[in-house]
Chain A
């Protein structure tokens, strides 16, 4: 399966600042990537679908101006959390998808803590 990396694995930032999270597909050209958020002891919630070369599509209730997604190449998607607040503290996980019946391959996740 595809190998997916995320950077950083952990980040602590101050309230009001922005933080960028990278998701890389190391051995697979991904036209579609997904971003999820997982709060402690909860399931994964889809935030947005990232399509290479086009605008991301966001799930209902996710602020597109707060969570900026850029999918500039077939191997890299970035999620920028702008003006972060403590309630944005969460585990952010990306995945890549080949389409059709293929499974999604997940990155190792990024733990964001906003102080």
Chain B
């Protein structure tokens, strides 16, 4: 079984400030972890993913996330927010091995990021 918890349904930052979106996961098998961004009435776009190897992963638009197994976390950060970063962000987990959950994404509740001028 898998689950994802995103702490904070809304996060508001000023332009140029640090962005930190929190994600904790639960998985009975080694996980693959993803962050997706969704703009209103659109599908999802991948920001970054962790599968194996380096635990600090870099994605598009200056975002990065660190996989911390001991904390079961995969928090998303960006050093300096831009107005165009305003959107909804989803953390997701899938199973890295076979079984009924293989390949299936379980999403967190989403975090709406607002960026103020």
Contact = CB atoms under 8 A, between A and B. Distances in A.
Chains A and B come from one and the same complex: yes
Interface of A: 1, 4, 6, 32, 34, 42-46, 49, 91, 93, 95, 97, 99, 101, 103-109, 111
Does more than half of chain A's interface fall in helix, strand or loop, or is it mixed?
strand
B69 to A, nearest CB: 17
Most chain A CB inside 10 Å of its own CB: which residue of B32, B36, B96, B104: B104
A106 B44 contact: yes
Contact of B46 (A101, A103, A107, A108): A103
A108 B107 contact: no
B1 to A, nearest CB: 12
Nearest to A1: B46
Nearest to B52: A101
Contacts, number: 51
Interface residues of B, number: 22
Interface of B: 32, 34, 36, 41-46, 49, 51-52, 90, 96, 103-110
Given A43-B110, A101-B51, A101-B96, A32 B45 contact: no
Of all A-B residue pairs in the complex, the 4 with the closest CB atoms, nearest first, are: A101-B51, A106-B43, A106-B44, A108-B43
Contact of B32 (A42, A46, A101): A101
Given A101-B51, A101-B52, A43 B42 contact: no
B43 A43 contact: no
A4 B43 contact: yes
B61 to A, nearest CB: 15
